[in-house]
Amino acid sequence: MNESEEILNLLRDNGRISVEDISAMTKRSVEEVSAIIQKLENDGVIMKYAAIINPEKDLSAKEMVRAEIEIQVTPEREHGFDGIADRIYRFPQVKSLYLMSGGYDFKVIIEGDTLQEVADFVARKLSTLEGVRATKTCFILKTYKENDIVYVETDCDRREGAMA
């Protein structure tokens, strides 16, 4: 594992880890670690540092409506899927966009304040884009696990809490 991979693995696990802690764990100087991180940021490898928030406990997001939309498209002659993807990911409601294999071409995760807002976005903005042939919307009812984080308390967790 090279120096960048080692540092990236530590940052993936804890984006708030200090340069000093990374230095100690990788046996590199603080200056060397700082320089590596700066290069990773400048090269666009590290794009953002963010907290993972439990949506069930975040009162500001409690009413947020999330949906997964499957989209079938006709690829553009010169740009293929990229031109359509470029138009889709520019909408602020779009949180994630994936090119897929299988029965549809794109999977989109969107967020809105209400079910009606999400429905209107799909009906008026997404499905009317040139090249879009069909959409299928599934509303996300509950998140159990995302980005390797389990959001629900298990029976085992409850028992451990009772014993503590």
- What is the predicted pLDDT for the residue at 75? 94
Q: How far apart are CA 129 and CA 34, in angstroms?
A: 44
pLDDT at 28 over 80: yes
Pairwise pLDDT comparison (9 vs 163), residue with the higher score = 9
- What is the predicted pLDDT for the residue at 118? 96
Pairwise pLDDT comparison (152 vs 115), residue with the higher score = 115
Please report, for the chain, the start and end positions of each structural domain, with discontinuous segments joined by +.
3-42, 65-146
The secondary structure of residue 51, as a DSSP letter, is: -
Mean pLDDT, rounded, of the chain: 90
Handedness of CA 74, 75, 76, 77 (dihedral sign): negative
pLDDT at 164 over 80: no
Widest distance between CA atoms in the chain: 63
Band the pLDDT of 155: cuts 50, 70, 90: low
The secondary structure of residue 123, as a DSSP letter, is: I
Contact 99, 86 (CB under 8 A): no
51 φ, ψ (degrees, to nearest 5): -90, 145
pLDDT at 154 over 90: no
pTM of the model: 0.76
Band the pLDDT of 74: cuts 50, 70, 90: very high
Structure tokens at 13: 């696990």
CATH architecture assignment, domain 65-146:
2-Layer Sandwich (3.30)
- What is the predicted pLDDT for the residue at 73? 97
Handedness of CA 95, 99, 100, 106 (dihedral sign): positive
